[in-house]
Amino acid sequence: MSTTRRNFLKTGAAITAMPFIHALPAAAGAGDTLVAVTAQTINSLDLHRTGTNRASYAVAINCYDRLVTFGTKEAPGGGLSYDYATLEPELAESWTISDDGMTITFTLKEASFQDGSPVTAEDVKWSFDRAVTVGGFPTVQMKAGGLERPEQFEAVDAKTFVVKLDRPSKLSLPDLAVPVPFIINATLAKANATADDPWAMEYLHKNTIGSGAYKVTRWDPGQQVVYERNEAWVGGPVPSYARVIMREVPSAATQRALVERGDVQVAFDIPDKDAAELAEKLTVYSTPVENCIHALCLNTNFEPFQDANVRKAIAAIVPYEAIFKAAAYGRGAPLWGGSAEITDTAWPRKSPYDTDLATAQEFMAASAYPDGFETTLSISTDLASWMEPAALLIQEAVAKIGITVQLDKIPGANWRTAALVEKRLPMHLENFGGWLNTPDYYFFWAYQKDHLFNSSNYFNEEVEQLTNETLHMAMDDPEYAPKIKRMFEIAFEDLPRIPLYQPALNVAVNGASGYEFWFHRQLDIRSLSPASA
**pLDDT for the residue 2:** 36
**pLDDT for the residue 221:** 94
Confidence class for position 31, pLDDT limits 50, 70, 90: confident
Count of other CB atoms within 10 angstroms of residue 392: 17
The mean per-residue pLDDT over the stretch 108-116 comes to 97
pLDDT digits (tens, 9 = 90+) for 309-332: 999 999 999 999 999 999 999 999
Let me know: does 383 contact 322? Beta carbons within 8 Å: no
Asked if the model's pLDDT at residue 14 lies above 70, the reply is no
pLDDT digits (tens, 9 = 90+) for 373-399: 999 999 999 889 899 999 999 999 999
Residue 442 Ramachandran class (φ > 0 left, ψ -120 to 50 alpha, else beta) = alpha
Say if 1-64+212-287+503-533 and 294-502 have the same CATH topology: no
Question: Is 1-64+212-287+503-533 in CATH node 3.40.1800.10?
Answer: no
Dihedral over Cα of 203, 206, 209, 210: its sign: positive
pLDDT digits (tens, 9 = 90+) for 479-504: 999 999 999 999 999 999 999 999 99
**pLDDT for the residue 54:** 87
**pLDDT for the residue 146:** 94
**pLDDT for the residue 413:** 83
The mean per-residue pLDDT over the stretch 74-102 comes to 94
The mean per-residue pLDDT over the stretch 352-366 comes to 98
Confidence class for position 30, pLDDT limits 50, 70, 90: low
Report the percentage of the chain scoring pLDDT > 90: 89
At the top level of CATH, which class does the domain 84-197 belong to? alpha beta
CATH (residue range 294-502): 3.10.105.10
Alpha helix segments (H runs only) across 26-176? 57-63, 121-133, 136-144, 172-175
Let me know: does 384 contact 409? Beta carbons within 8 Å: yes
Q: How do the domains of the chain map onto residue ranges? A: 1-64+212-287+503-533, 84-197, 294-502
Asked if the model's pLDDT at residue 408 lies above 70, the reply is yes
Asked if the model's pLDDT at residue 51 lies above 90, the reply is no
Helix 461-471 / helix 439-446 crossing angle, nearest 10 deg: 140
